[in-house]
């Protein structure tokens, strides 16, 4: 990677990450680091100097290449990208990038199908749908976000799924993944829809508004709406984290609840494996920044309009499960999750589970 990104990793280990934030301080830190590297190179052997020249030539060629086109959704799946977006805007990455952020998964599907994007951060089941739609021309390279669904209420007696029996739960997404996930968790806890009342609303904002006005109500919402609800009404709290409830029923070594994955068009991966590898490294660093530096990440998140206000973004981040899982860990987590959705409704994953070539192993 380019020296500034590598320097970020070194300083993160040393606990000096503050010097890598955006703005003039970061630029000065990067410039100083590059000057130090140049000074060391001048004192090294001619062989080392030659290696430096080769690296710089490769970087220069990369800068002249077409940008790697990355699409994402306005929400948690983009939060782990904000550091990379900021670095790319400043020209501080090896790969030249072009980022597109949209509000609906259908827009990303259309852009990927039309080959207007090379990489996209998609809902996990949508990635499977796209894989089936394109006859396997989509490869998932990492998981970028785990579960973001929570049960919020003011009732402290709710400590398990079974405690929802006889109650009314307000939620959105009838016939979509939140619905399937919740029904799966009910089933694994010995319950059915007959044991409680589910009231579906069209938008999370409707559920949030209802919870604000009726503090005795119970809602199932995704982040960051959960954080907004709890900020508006201090009686409200997270009583059940559905990611943890999923892990309870799956046990050790089982699948995990997955919100977002990162996919690449197979032809692009085959033609530019080194650029995809570079993106994965950049994405890992960016996700780690978001998790380890929530205050700075929240400013970037608000600046990009993902969440309107930085304080809300900072409060939501610990519950958004931003990650960057790849390889076998990714496959185990994702394949089991898709299996559960398939059993609920095959159409939710595109009619069939993806084959082995859906999963990328670096």
Q: Which domain CATH number covers 278?
A: 3.40.190.10
Cis peptide before 101 (omega within 30 of 0): no
Say what the pLDDT of residue 209 is: 92
Residues 185 and 205 in one domain: yes
52 & 71 share domain:
no
- The reply to whether 167 and 299 lie within a common domain is no
* CA geometry: angle 257, 259, 261, nearest 5 deg: 110
Residue 2: the pLDDT is: 39
Secondary structure letter of residue 355 according to DSSP: -
Angle between helices 327-344 and 177-188 in degrees, nearest 10: 90
Neighbours of 173 (CB within 10 A): 19
CB atoms within 10 A of CB 18: 12
Q: Which residues constitute the domain of residue 134?
A: 67-147+256-358
pLDDT, residue 14, reads: 36
Are residue 297 and residue 325 in the same domain, yes or no? yes
Based on the fold, state whether residues 155 and 135 are members of the same structural domain: no
- pLDDT score of 151: 97
Beta strands in the chain (DSSP E): 68-73, 97-102, 119-123, 138-146, 149-153, 168-172, 197-201, 218-222, 237-241, 258-265, 322-325
Residues 6+ apart with CB under 8 A from 361: 327, 328
Backbone φ and ψ for 151, nearest 5 degrees, come out as -95, 125
On whether both 189 and 51 belong to a single domain, the answer is no
CA angle 57, 61, 66 (to 5 degrees): 165
pLDDT at residue 64, as a whole number: 52
> Rounded CA gap, 273 and 250, in Å?
34
Number of H helices, E strands in the chain: 16, 11
Same domain, 45 and 81: no
For residue 261, what are the contacts with CB-CB under 8 A and spacing of at least 6?
A: 121, 122, 123, 124, 127, 140, 142, 143, 144, 330, 334
222 and 282 co-located in one domain = no
What is the model's pTM?
0.80
Give every CB contact of residue 92 below 8 A, 6+ residues apart in sequence: 2, 4, 5, 30
The pLDDT tens digits along the chain (362 residues) read: 433 333 333 333 333 233 333 333 333 333 333 333 333 333 333 444 444 444 443 443 444 579 999 999 999 989 999 999 999 999 999 889 999 999 999 999 999 999 999 999 999 999 999 999 999 999 999 999 999 999 999 998 999 999 999 999 999 999 999 999 999 999 999 999 999 999 999 999 999 999 988 889 999 999 999 998 999 888 899 999 999 999 999 988 789 999 999 999 999 999 999 999 999 999 999 999 999 999 999 999 999 999 989 999 999 999 999 999 999 999 999 999 999 999 999 999 999 999 999 999 98
pLDDT at 11: 36
3-state secondary structure of 84: helix
Whether residue 162 is found in the same domain as residue 300 = no
End of a domain among 206, 224, 248? 248
135 and 154, same domain (yes or no): no
Q: For the chain, how many structural domains are there in total?
A: 3
199 shares its domain with 55: no
DSSP string for 158-184: --SGGGGTT-EEEEE-TTSHHHHHHHH
């Amino acid at each position: 990677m380019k020296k500034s990104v590598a320097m970020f990793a070194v300083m993160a280990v040393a606990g000096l990450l503050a010097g890598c934030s955006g703005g003039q301080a970061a630029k000065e830190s990067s410039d100083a680091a590059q000057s130090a590297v140049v000074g060391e190179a001048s004192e090294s052997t001619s062989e080392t100097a030659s290696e430096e020249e080769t690296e710089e030539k490769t970087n220069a060629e990369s800068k002249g290449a077409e940008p790697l086109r990355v699409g994402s959704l306005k929400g948690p799946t983009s939060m782990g990208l904000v550091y990379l977006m900021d670095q790319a805007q400043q020209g501080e990455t090896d790969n030249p990038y072009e980022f597109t952020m949209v509000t609906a998964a259908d827009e990303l599907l259309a852009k990927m199908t039309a080959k207007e994007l090379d990489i996209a951060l998609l809902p996990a089941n949508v990635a499977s749908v796209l894989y089936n739609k394109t006859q396997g021309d989509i490869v998932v390279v990492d998981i970028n976000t785990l579960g973001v669904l929570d049960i919020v209420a003011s009732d402290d007696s709710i400590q398990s799924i079974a405690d929802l029996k006889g109650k009314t739960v307000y939620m959105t997404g009838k016939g979509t993944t939140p619905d399937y996930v919740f029904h799966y968790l009910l089933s694994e806890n010995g319950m059915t829809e007959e044991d409680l009342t589910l009231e579906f609303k069209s938008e999370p904002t409707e559920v949030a508004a209802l919870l604000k006005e009726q503090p005795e109500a119970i809602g199932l919402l995704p982040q960051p709406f959960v954080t907004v609800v709890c900020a508006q009404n201090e009686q409200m709290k997270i009583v059940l984290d559905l990611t943890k409830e999923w892990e309870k029923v799956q046990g050790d070594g089982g699948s995990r609840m997955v919100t977002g994955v990162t996919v690449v068009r197979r032809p692009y991966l085959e033609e530019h494996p080194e650029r995809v590898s570079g993106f994965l490294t950049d994405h890992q660093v960016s996700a780690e920044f978001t998790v380890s530096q929530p205050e700075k990440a929240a400013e970037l998140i608000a600046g990009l309009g993902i969440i309107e206000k930085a304080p809300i973004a900072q409060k939501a981040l610990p519950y958004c499960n931003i990650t960057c899982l790849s390889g076998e860990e990714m496959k185990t987590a994702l394949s089991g999750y898709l299996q559960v959705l398939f059993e609920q409704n095959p159409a939710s994953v595109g009619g069939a589970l993806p084959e082995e070539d859906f999963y990328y192993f670096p």
